[in-house]
Amino acid sequence: MKTEGSPKMTVLHAPVGVRSIVSSLVAFFIVASSVTFLLDQGQEAQVQMAVEHGRQEAQASEECNWSRGRWVYDNISRPLYSGLKCAFIFPEVACDKYGRKDVMYQHWRWQPHGCDLPRFDATKLLEKLRNKRLVFVGDSVNRNQWVSLVCMVEASIPDDRLKIRIFNGSLISFKALEYNATIDFYWSPLLVESNSDNPIIHRVEYRIIRADRIEKHASVWRDADIIVFNSYLWWRKQKDDMRMKVMYGSFEDGDARLDEMEMIDGFEIALKKLTEWLGENIDKNKTRIFFAGSSPTHSWASNWGGEDSNKCLNETEPIYKIGYKAATTDYSLMAKAKSFFKTLEPKGIHVQILNITELSDYRKDGHPTVFRRQFVPLTKEQIANPASYADCTHWCLPGVPDVWNEFLYGYLMYK
């Protein structure tokens, strides 16, 4: 029944479906605005992170003294590769393959004081080396570093058809075919020509160098874009009265002369000849030159409070004392090398020292000891006394030389 006298209030009700759509649209715009805001914030954060990362890299290149720091146990980001999976590893440094059960030595990361090392990126390094040639020149410790770098980069090339290794006498080449990049090792333990130039047949205790002959070796590295020299181990005395011979002239010309001298004097002669060659032949606009610091041995356990008869056998942890320097580690050879290479600076040729001595000095645990291939059958006496043949000179891989190559990577990419 209608009521005539009182006005009717009309309330408009939207249909339920329309109300739902409107509510949903409002909610959508609110959420979308929130997400956009959050994404903007996230992008800003990412940009900020990238900027901070760039700042860290710039700091690494300009301010950071990478050689001073400490070893930090890190089983998350270390090792950088698997020694058991690296097809190019050498048997004298493949410690886990040859029975070493403790693997802590693979999980230590070098942490410089107050800054970080640039994070190693194998793909970026290979791009840097595209159409280029990097050559390691030196002794078996330098070969140790070469093997390390090859293992660090080859894992980023999953297709075995795109990576090869070639042996050619004193020269070993790793080639990343997709990048046309070559990483070589050339055996030249005394830098100049010597009686130890055969990588297989040589006498460590009897050394003769030719004072004025380097071209045979230099012809191999002449066209390189990056050269990493190393020559310390063969200048160390095996015993207190050890001396060496230096040959002047040649038997062919009838003016050959042999002079006997101290090992350090022979080192200076070799450095002088190398420096002369670099000054006369290197294209400073093309070739970058590095000289690796001395790699310490750990054959005298009394340096860290142990028994010398044990050498570095059964050591499983680094030396933790900050600033530790073994009494038997000779830092003078690196200083001598620096003084020679400084004479090249007026010509615009810079030789960068890879100062890896102190960081390596801490790592008494990093050597193969008995966990390596033995190329000469062991005697009964050696088997009875494992420390007598323990290798406390070379380094297990993965391990300490990986950090040497992180230094090299940092210099190549950021300095």
With H, G, I as helix, E, B as strand and everything else as coil, classify residue 354: strand
What contacts 15, CB < 8 A, 6 or more positions away? Answer: none
Statement: residue 37 has pLDDT above 50? no
Length of the chain, in residues: 415
pLDDT at residue 12, as a whole number: 32
How many Å apart are CA 415 and CA 5, to the nearest integer?
95
Q: What is the tens place of the pLDDT at every residue in 189-222?
A: 999 999 999 988 887 778 899 999 999 999 999 9
Q: pLDDT band at 62, cuts 50/70/90?
A: low
- Which one-letter amino acid corresponds to residue 98? Y
Integer angstrom CA distances of residue 32 from 38, 39, 41 = 10, 10, 14
How many Å apart are CA 415 and CA 226, to the nearest integer?
14
- Which one-letter amino acid corresponds to residue 386? P
Residues annotated as catalytic (active site), given as ranges: 140, 391, 394
Domain regions of the chain by residue span? 65-414
Is 380 or 265 the better-scoring residue by pLDDT? 265
How many Å apart are CA 154 and CA 360, to the nearest integer?
24
**Residue 270, token pair as written in the block:** 């070799």
For 204, counting Cβ atoms within 10 Å of its Cβ (0-12 exposed, 13-18 middle, 19+ buried), the class is: exposed
Is 388 or 277 the better-scoring residue by pLDDT? 277
The half-sphere exposure of 50 on its side-chain side, counting CA atoms within 13 A, is 6
Is 414 or 49 the better-scoring residue by pLDDT? 414
Q: What is the tens place of the pLDDT at every residue in 277-331?
A: 999 999 999 999 999 999 999 999 999 999 999 999 999 999 999 889 888 888 8
Long-range contacts of 308-312 (CB under 8 A, 24+ apart): 309/387, 310/387, 311/369, 311/387, 311/390, 311/392, 312/364, 312/365, 312/367, 312/369, 312/390, 312/392
72 contacts 111 by C-beta, under 8 angstroms: yes
163 contacts 154 by C-beta, under 8 angstroms: yes
Q: Over the chain, what is the mean pLDDT? A: 86
How many Å apart are CA 406 and CA 356, to the nearest integer?
11
- Strands 133-138, 226-229: pairing is parallel
Statement: residue 352 has pLDDT above 60? yes
pLDDT at residue 372, as a whole number: 94
How many Å apart are CA 46 and CA 51, to the nearest integer?
8
* E runs forming strands in 240-367: 244-248, 257-261, 288-292, 351-354
Selection from 74, 88, 92 nearest residue 141 by Cα: 92
Integer angstrom CA distances of residue 42 from 45, 50, 51, 183, 384 = 5, 12, 14, 41, 64
How many Å apart are CA 266 and CA 280, to the nearest integer?
22
How many Å apart are CA 402 and CA 395, to the nearest integer?
10
How many Å apart are CA 284 and CA 299, to the nearest integer?
40
For 403, counting Cβ atoms within 10 Å of its Cβ (0-12 exposed, 13-18 middle, 19+ buried), the class is: buried
Name the pTM for this structure: 0.84
Of the spans 34-38, 186-190, 250-254, which averages the highest pLDDT?
Answer: 186-190
pLDDT at residue 331, as a whole number: 85
Q: Quick check: bond before 79 cis, omega within 30?
A: yes
